[in-house]
Amino acid sequence: MTVLGYDLLSIFPLLNLVLTLVVMARIVLRPNRTPASRVAWLVVVGAVPLVGMVAYLLLGEVSIGRRRVARVREALARMPAYIEGDDEIVPWRFRNLFRLGHSISGFRPIGGNKGTLLADSNATIDAMVADIDAAKNHVHLLFYIWLADNNGRKVIEALERAAARGVTCRVMVDDIGSRALVRSPHWQAMRDAGIRTASGLAVGNPLLRLMTSRIDLRNHRKIVVIDGWITYCGSQNCADPEFRVKARYAPWVDAVVRFEGPIAHQNQLLFAGDWMAGVKEDIGYLLTPSPPPEDTTSMPAQVIGTGPTVRYSAMQEIFQSLLLSARREVIITTPYYVPDDALQNAICATAYRGVDTTIIFPARNDSMIVAWASHSYYADLLAAGVKIHEYVGGLLHTKSLTVDGELMLIGSANMDRRSMDLNYENNILVHDRELTQAMRARQKEYIAHSREVTRGQVARWSLPRRLLNNTIAILGPLF
């Protein structure tokens, strides 16, 4: 076959070589990539050039698209400067941790808060509904997954009641995580009731979207803000614990804290940034903080929002710094554990330093790929002295970290690359002994319903099982 006098069969090898070298050069020059990731992609592109090049262009780079990046920057430029908060309200030992958080989101630790760890998923939804029913001015909700099940409809009905009272209600969901709701009659019914709705990171035409950005970069945040004074933060989506889309792993076990106080304003700003980047509505008039409470030192807290348009490695920095600040004890719960070398080494180093270090995973994971990859890290963790427990009472979905019984991190971020590099996440860092002890007691409850994994058990894993685990883990840096 000839085109313009050239025999395509004869020039194809040369063309393939040139394209391969161009893509390899892009891999090497692309910023914010670990050496392991670069090497993995170079091997894939070199071994299977055409498939590797297509895979890299679709999945190898972290980009939500230039237009979306421009909208995010424009929205952030319209946001008022956040000047509230004071590092001095945090003990000097933890002050640098909050300064790290400030460098990520621009929020300083702020006091005058109250926080309650809610009993379970249903209690969380009931508390949200009660707060929505008591709302006087506005309700802002953002969820990665919102199902039209019993709990999902409870919240919808509460929003409809609030809208009927004249309360301004804004709802944002991730376009893929909540696609069932967005495409259901409930979504239109919410609009008809006067609720303002938006789909975050809308996919639109998948083929066209693939040309400009990665479809799998999602808004994984869970944010509830009511009247600028009440906010919720934790791992729970707006759904029943039975989670009918993945019912065979149920119940999904989550932890959520209900906060009252100035910390709600920081979550408000995080929501507003997402809202104004996706909707042509300036809600800057809502972003003036409420007057501070009389006690401005109790329960210092700080919102930390991360994502693909935030500083690279921000979430890893938070995890690692919290681990390295521990003196006596660290307890971690995470459903998805596929760390980079730095995070894995930080956890091992924490245990090697003599800190009592415990990680609780679900015994059954809804992602077999993640489960296999996670298991590849068990041997090194156990060798360092890390205690590993696998929760057997359902899918443990809680994302929490407690340090020395007085500092806690709770939110939406998992300890995998998707949360650390790809998705938008929100967490709250809190220095408060009472609330941290409540979270620690919940973590101990998880341990009581778990089975401990020992070095002997891992050593007895079969050769095929270890080969599978390690092979899947090797592919982790690709994504």
Which active-site residues does the annotation give?
220, 222, 227, 397, 399, 404
Contact criterion met (CB below 8 Å) for 259 and 115: yes
* Residue of 203, 221, 220 whose CA lies nearest to 212: 203
Q: Is 381 helix (H, G, I), strand (E, B) or coil?
A: helix
Location of structure tokens 């979430």: 315
User: At 22, which helix (H) or strand (E)?
Assistant: helix 8-29
Contact residues for 257 (Cβ-Cβ < 8 A; gap 6+): 115, 116, 117, 118, 232, 233, 234, 410, 428, 430, 435, 439
Give the Cα separation of 171 and 197 in Å (integer): 5
Give the Cα separation of 436 and 430 in Å (integer): 8
Q: How far is CA 448 from the centre of its chain?
A: 26
Looking only at Cα atoms, what is the longest distance across the chain?
83
Contact criterion met (CB below 8 Å) for 401 and 319: yes
Contact residues for 114 (Cβ-Cβ < 8 A; gap 6+): 259, 260, 261, 298, 299
First-last CA distance in the chain? 38
Helix, strand, coil tally for the chain in percent (to 5): 50, 20, 30
Contact criterion met (CB below 8 Å) for 302 and 112: no
Q: What amino acid is encoded at 32 in this protein?
A: N
Give the Cα separation of 375 and 370 in Å (integer): 9
Phi, psi (degrees; rounded to nearest 5) at 159 = -65, -40
Q: Is 117 helix (H, G, I), strand (E, B) or coil?
A: strand
